[in-house]
Structure 1
Amino acid sequence: MLKHVLDVIDRLDDPAASGKSVAELLDRAAGPEGSGAEVVTVHGDKGSTDFVRVRVRGRRGRARGGDAPTLGIVGRLGGIGARPEILGFTSDGDGAAAALAAAAKLLEMRSRGDVLDGDVVIATHVCPDAPTQPHDPVPFMDSPVDIATMNEHEITPDMDAVLSIDTTKGNTFINHRGLALSPTVRQGYVLRVSEQLAGLLAVVTGEPAVTFPVTTQDITPYGNGVHHLNSILQPATATRAPVVGLAITAAAPVPGCATGASHETDIAAAARFAVEAAKGFGAGALTFHDEAEYEALVARYGSLAHLQTLGAGDAA
C-alpha cells in the first residue's frame, strides 16, 4: 500500500495536479481493463476543482446485477494545495491521498484476479490551489466549491455505507498520531461506535482502536452558523446510509494548510483500513451499525433527518 501512497502523493504534490493526471495513475494500476474513472471539473466562487470518482466492480456487485452491498469511500478535504500562498502538498490532502491509494490498490487487486464481492465507489476531488480560511485553534483549508457540491459529486444513491476519510489534526482533543474512528452517524442519529470497525482498526494498526467524540452540530450541514470539528461527517448530511469517519490525526494541532505535515505511513494505514473494510462489507461479514437497533430508535423517538438540513431560521 505504501507504494501506492507514494505514487499518489507524487502525482498530487504538483502545481499542475488534476483529475486527469490522477485518472491516468488509476488507469495504470487497473491494467488493461482501465479504471473507468470519471473526472468532472466544477467551478465555484473561489476557483475550480476536479472531482474524481471510480467504481471498482465486485463479483456480485450491483454493476453486474448482483445483490452484494456497495461501499462508498470518500476522501474529504478542502484542497491538496494552497498555491500561490503556500507551496507544496497540504496536510488537508491526506484524505484524498488515502482514498486514491485505496482505489489504486483495489484496481490492482482486480487486475490480478482478487475481485471483491461488492462494488466499491471511491470519490474525492483535486485542487492544487485552494484558498485557506481562519479557524480555531489553527487555520483550515477552504475549498473552491461548497459542501453541497462536494456531496453531489462524491455521494451516490447506491452507497449502502460510507467511509469518510479526512485529515482531522486541527483540534486539541484528539491527542494521538495515527487514525481515529467516529461513531456511526445515520440521518441525524449518532449511534454507537461499530465494534466490528473498531476491531478492524486495531488489526490494521496493530494498536488499540482510538475513537473521537462527535457532537450534534458536527453532523449538521456547513452553513448553519455553528462550529464544526471539520467536514469529515458532512457526507452524512447527503445520504440515508450509515456514515463513519476515519480521521487521520496528530498528537498536536496542525493547520490543514500546513505543508511537510503528512505522514505517508499513516495515510497508508488509512488506505489499508478502507480496503479491508471494503472486503468485509461487500461480503456481508462487516456492518457499520446495528440495523435493528437503529430502526428501534426511529420507531421510539422518530426521525432526526431534519438535522441533515440547514433547519429553521437564517443560515449564516
Structure 2
Amino acid sequence: MSLKHVMEMFDLLDSSTASGEAIKQYFADRGFTNVVVQTVEGDKGSTDFIKVTVPGKNGKSNGGTAPTLGIVGRLGGLGARPEQIGFVSDGDGALACLAAAAKLVEMQQRGDALAGDVILTTHVCPDAPTQPHDPVPFMDSPVDILTMNKYEVVTEMDAILSIDTTKGNQVVNHNGFALSPTVKEGYILRISNDLLDLMKQTTGKMPVTFPVTTQDITPYGNDLYHLNSILQPCVATNSPVVGVAITTSVPVAGCATGATHLIDVEQTVRFVIEAAKWYGVNKCSFYDEQEFERIVSLYGTMNHLQTLDGKVKVQ
C-alpha cells in the first residue's frame, strides 16, 4: 500500500512554497540522500528538477547487470498561482512519481530492495503559467519541453514509464489510469501484455488503454496537435517509452484545483512499482525485440519523427 506516501507527498506539494529542496529534505529526514535538485530558469519563471536514484541489488549503479527503469513524472506545474489557488490537476504526474520514490526508498530500507536501479525524475513549480487548449485549458511550464527532456530523460534509463495527468480530452473516458502503446524510435508498437497483466493485478479490473497518434510522438513546437506531453520523453531517447495516463471520465482542465483523486494516484504508484520489480528481473517486457528488428528491416527507421524538422542529422 502506497497511500501514506501519496498523502505525505501531496501535503508537501500542495503549497505555494513547494520546492525541490523541501522534497530533498523529506528524503534526508528518512536517511536517504541519493536525491539531486537543480533549479532551472526559463522564459516564464523557474522550476526545480528532481532526480531520485534508488539503487538495486543487481543494479548497474552497483556494478550489476539488471536493467534500469525510468519513471518520469510529467507536468507543466503543481500550481497556477496567482490565477488559481492550490494544487492543480496537472500536478498528479509529479505526485505519483515522488510518492513512488518514497515507497521504493522505504521498501529498500525495510529489506525489500529491487533487483534493478530505478531512476525517478520530475520537477516542482508551484506557480506555472497556463495556455489555451481544446477542449479545456492546459497548464504551461516555465521551461520548454527540450529542457524538461534534458533533465528528466536520463541516459541510464533502459525503459521509461511516463506518468502524466491526461484529463483534458474526450479520448479517455475512465477514472483511474490508462496505458499507451509502447513508443520506440518513432514507431508506435503494440501494447505490452506484461504491463496489461500488471494493470489487472494492481487494479483488480480489466486494463484500460488509450490511443496514440503519430502527432503525439513528435516533438512539441512543430504546430501539430498533441494529446498532451505524456509521450514527449520518446523524442529524447531510443529506449522504449510507455505512457501511464492518470485519467477521468469527463474532461478536466489541467489548471483545475480540487481535482486530484488520491486513490487513483495511489493505484498508479502501485502499478509502476510492480512494473519496476518485474522489469529489473527481466520478466516485464516493454516490446518484442525481434519484432522491432523485423519492422525496421521492412519499413526502415522512423527516427525523423523524433526531430522537430523531420530530419535526422548524420553524425
Q: What TM-score does the superposition give when structure 1 sets the normalisation length?
A: 0.97
1:312 CA drift (Å): 4.7
**Quick one: distance in 2 between partners of 1:11 and 1:243?**
28
**Quick one: distance in 2 between partners of 1:131 and 1:62?**
38
**Quick one: distance in 1 between partners of 2:173 and 2:285?**
28
**Quick one: distance in 2 between partners of 1:40 and 1:108?**
24
Q: Which residue of 1 aligns with 2:10?
A: 9
Say if 2:166 is the partner of 1:159. Answer: no
- Give secondary structure in 1 for the equivalent of 2:101: helix
Q: What TM-score does the superposition give when structure 2 sets the normalisation length?
A: 0.97
1:96 CA drift (Å): 0.4
Could you tell me whether the CA contact under 8 Å between 1:178 and 1:248 is conserved in 2? Answer: yes
From 37, 51, 75, the counterpart of 1:53: 51
Q: Which residue of 1 aligns with 2:299?
A: 301
From 29, 37, 49, the counterpart of 2:35: 37
Q: Which residue of 2 aligns with 1:276?
A: 274
Could you tell me whether the CA contact under 8 Å between 1:35 and 1:107 is conserved in 2? Answer: no
- Give secondary structure in 2 for the equivalent of 1:51: strand
CA RMSD of aligned residues (A): 0.9
- State the AA in 1 paired with 2:115: D
- State the AA in 2 paired with 1:100: L
- State the AA in 2 paired with 1:145: V
1:26 CA drift (Å): 2.4
Q: Which residue of 2 aligns with 1:245?
A: 243
Q: Which residue of 1 aligns with 2:95?
A: 97
- State the AA in 2 paired with 1:292: Q
**Quick one: distance in 2 between partners of 1:35 and 1:55?**
9
1:311 CA drift (Å): 1.9
Aligned length: 310
Alignment of 1:208-219 (within 5 A): 208-219=206-217
- Give secondary structure in 2 for the equivalent of 1:59: coil
CA deviation string 1:175-206 (max 9, x = no partner): 11111000000010000000110110111111
From 120, 142, 151, the counterpart of 1:122: 120
**Quick one: distance in 1 between partners of 2:139 and 2:176?**
20
Query: CA separation of 1:312/1:306 partners in 2, compared to 1, >3 Å: closer, same or farther?
Result: closer
**Quick one: distance in 2 between partners of 1:112 and 1:146?**
39
Q: Which residue of 1 aligns with 2:184?
A: 186
CA deviation string 1:123-182 (max 9, x = no partner): 000000000000000000000001110010011111110000000000012111111000
**Quick one: distance in 2 between partners of 1:177 and 1:4?**
21
- Give secondary structure in 1 for the equivalent of 2:161: strand
Runs of 5+ in structure 2 lacking a partner? none
- State the AA in 2 paired with 1:19: G
**Quick one: distance in 1 between partners of 2:191 and 2:222?**
26
**Quick one: distance in 1 between partners of 2:122 and 2:68?**
17
Runs of 5+ in structure 1 lacking a partner? none
**Quick one: distance in 2 between partners of 1:280 and 1:158?**
18
**Quick one: distance in 2 between partners of 1:25 and 1:126?**
14
- State the AA in 2 paired with 1:4: H
CA deviation string 1:67-104 (max 9, x = no partner): 10000000000000000110100000001000000000
- State the AA in 1 paired with 2:28: D
Name the % identity.
61
